Chain A
């Protein structure tokens, strides 16, 4: 790890909803058994996946856009302190108020304090990952403040007292019949004849939300981007609920991770092409709202921004992992991930599921926080996420890096080495010499013997039992290639070695 001036000497790790409370394999085991969930997820991820591929393939300069997005984010991370100060200056000059929050607790306290100052006990909310991350709704509830989600999918999840399982489509694990049942059960004054037709469900939600929009005095939002050169914040959305929240209430409180900055207005042109195509598979999203401080007589007159660290400095301090902060929360990686597709988002514990969550959560909390060290292993390293990422985060390389951080963090601390430790040690010895491997290969006929007459191994002990739970291993061959080469290979035109008939296939 390299250090530089201005870097906090002790990065603060993230708190709030960033932890897995049980290990990924355990959680995945449970989620995999939910066949309804798997069917819903398989259907939904494939639909979004296909839409994304179609709109991405329309752009001849898609790869250059990805490069540009990656380069802009890299430059932001390289001069984050300077850009944050520039943003603060411009945002403040236009009448906004900046608050700095080290972690989830500080951010929650600031937001609750600001709402309390208005004398209100209710707030409407725009879908926001940052406020999910810090557990704002739960905290406000404890403080006697009701926060109403206004994004349709977030509303479904909130009414169901559930947790989001996807960063863009938080109710991806529910189908429309389940949604109707939730509305009938939880929505005040809902039409008892409600069917599961999407248009009727949307109409029910619209009627429910309209009452909230028209009475709310306080709104809480996140932000997709912040432009340092003008002090402007941006929210990108589909439903228009965001526009309502950003314009109708008197007080607007935004919570945003410090990594969301872009240097200039012009940089938006890159991200406004990358984000909608990567997230919803649309050429352009329906609503993009931008606001710069306070405009007298128009829109909210009390405008606040809580700038949230919550482990981002810790992630930034990891040279190999810091590009995880380039993430623009598009969710393309989870939509193409074969692991996410089968387990769903809840298996990852944290607010951030899927491939990006498997790196971002442990980077923000530190690898040893609760069960977060199981997250970097939740991938077959197939690489689909890296290909889909609009800002080219090399997720597979960072997963491997975090696995090594996990392994190294335990070195010398264990009284008894694990089976994996012992196996890796032995394999390192055996596989770092052709001679040693050749010697061990002399034992292949023994493995053949163990396989028995059906020529397959169907049960292995210890960690290898994971393999044989659904797969056989073929009986090893009689002779290794190395041995054959030495004893029997002869190049064309040279004298043949003693020809043997032998069984090729294990």
Chain B
């Protein structure tokens, strides 16, 4: 299968290892990955902050980048950005009366999958240890991000994939379905409430005794990880793509207490 990668802007610029891990997983399964070079961002930050006019060129750019490329399906390592592509893009195009953009955005959205959705529903991955060689000998807890959970209805796809990684020790996160408090510009506009939500999330993570918190959205992980770092915690965050890509020979690079220092993956 020919799979187009939508890296998402935050992963492209801040967490390239997550996108590289996504490529690794898909290639390991024997698929061809393409990267439409015109891509940039889904525009969700603009839409969710009320700047619809400024969102339109960002959305148009995404649709142009992905409807000119030849591929079977597109994938992004983010529930939130995929939800934006699927739901917000056609809605914004409709609200500004651009019928052509709406039609093309709907078509791109229909072909776009979140990573766990693609792996489970389309590529039939049920056992990451057996099918991907995933190996990650750490105690891990997992935060299901809101948009994957409520807008894409990912259910337990991400958790099941993580649970099927060889060597992993999964610790259930109390109140897992509670928002971490990120919410894009909410974290700045309502910094006090956002911080109060984050405090409870990091306390719940600490209570699991896990050495890291996994998730499917780099933005929420940056938020949670940023809070843990500020609190001086040894617990870090890691995207599930990197855990799935991790093998015995090529382990994921993990910072903090559980740093793994074998050959290639670290300096």
Is B267 touching A467 in the complex (CB atoms < 8 A)?
A: no
The 3 A-B residue pairs whose C-beta atoms are closest, nearest first, are A380-B183, A403-B50, A471-B226
A123 vs chain B, min Cβ distance (A): 39
Is A400 touching B50 in the complex (CB atoms < 8 A)?
A: yes
Q: Is B172 in the interface zone, CB < 8 Å from A?
A: no
Is B58 touching A481 in the complex (CB atoms < 8 A)?
A: no
Interface residues of A (CB under 8 A from B): 24-25, 28-29, 32, 38, 338-339, 342-343, 376-384, 386-387, 397, 400, 402-408, 420, 424-425, 427-428, 430-437, 441, 444, 456, 458, 463-467, 469-474, 476-477, 479-482, 484-486, 489, 491-492, 501-506
In chain B between 170 and 188, which residues have their CB closer than 8 angstroms to a CB of chain A? 177-179, 181-188
Is A431 touching B41 in the complex (CB atoms < 8 A)?
A: yes
Is B51 touching A463 in the complex (CB atoms < 8 A)?
A: no
Is A432 touching B58 in the complex (CB atoms < 8 A)?
A: yes
B51, B151, B177: residue with the most chain A Cβ atoms closer than 10 Å = B51
| Nearest CB in chain B to that of A485: its residue | B35
In chain B between 182 and 215, which residues have their CB closer than 8 angstroms to a CB of chain A? 182-199
With contacts A404-B50, A427-B54, A441-B12 taken as known, whether A434 is within 8 angstroms of B39 at the C-beta atoms is yes
Interchain residue pairs with CB less than 8 A apart (26):
A376-B50, A378-B193, A380-B182, A380-B186, A381-B48, A381-B183, A400-B47, A402-B50, A403-B48, A420-B185, A425-B54, A428-B46, A428-B51, A430-B40, A431-B40, A431-B43, A434-B40, A436-B40, A437-B41, A441-B13, A466-B187, A469-B191, A470-B198, A471-B230, A474-B225, A482-B37
Secondary structure at the B interface, as helix, strand, loop or mixed, is: helix
A383 to B178 alpha-carbon distance, docked (Å): 10
9 more A-B residue pairs beyond the given contacts A342-B193, A458-B230, with a C-beta to C-beta distance below 8 A: A387-B150, A405-B50, A408-B50, A424-B46, A434-B37, A467-B188, A467-B191, A471-B198, A501-B267
| Nearest CB in chain A to that of B150: its residue | A383
A148 vs chain B, min Cβ distance (A): 36
Is A386 touching B150 in the complex (CB atoms < 8 A)?
A: yes
List A contacts of B36 (CB < 8 A). 434
A474 to B50 alpha-carbon distance, docked (Å): 27
In chain B between 27 and 70, which residues have their CB closer than 8 angstroms to a CB of chain A? 27, 32-33, 35-41, 43, 45-55, 57-58, 60-61, 65
B50, B150, B255, B267: residue with the most chain A Cβ atoms closer than 10 Å = B50
* Residue in contact with A25 in the complex, picked from B91, B178, B192, CB distance below 8 Å: B192
| Nearest CB in chain A to that of B224: its residue | A471
List A contacts of B61 (CB < 8 A). 431-434
Q: Is B130 in the interface zone, CB < 8 Å from A?
A: no
List A contacts of B253 (CB < 8 A). 503-505
Is B55 touching A466 in the complex (CB atoms < 8 A)?
A: no
Q: Is B14 in the interface zone, CB < 8 Å from A?
A: yes
A95 to B24 alpha-carbon distance, docked (Å): 76
Is B51 touching A25 in the complex (CB atoms < 8 A)?
A: no
Q: Is B19 in the interface zone, CB < 8 Å from A?
A: yes
With contacts A420-B185, A428-B57, A471-B226 taken as known, whether A477 is within 8 angstroms of B14 at the C-beta atoms is yes
A348 to B71 alpha-carbon distance, docked (Å): 48
A465 vs chain B, min Cβ distance (A): 8
A184 to B222 alpha-carbon distance, docked (Å): 50
* Residue in contact with A464 in the complex, picked from B13, B188, B254, CB distance below 8 Å: B188
List A contacts of B46 (CB < 8 A). 424, 427-428
With contacts A428-B58, A477-B16, A506-B14 taken as known, whether A338 is within 8 angstroms of B197 at the C-beta atoms is yes
Is A383 touching B190 in the complex (CB atoms < 8 A)?
A: no
A408 to B9 alpha-carbon distance, docked (Å): 26
A61 to B264 alpha-carbon distance, docked (Å): 54
B26 vs chain A, min Cβ distance (A): 10
* Residue in contact with B192 in the complex, picked from A29, A379, A400, A430, CB distance below 8 Å: A29
Is A382 touching B50 in the complex (CB atoms < 8 A)?
A: no
* Residue in contact with A32 in the complex, picked from B35, B51, B189, B196, CB distance below 8 Å: B196
A469 to B194 alpha-carbon distance, docked (Å): 10
A397 to B84 alpha-carbon distance, docked (Å): 12
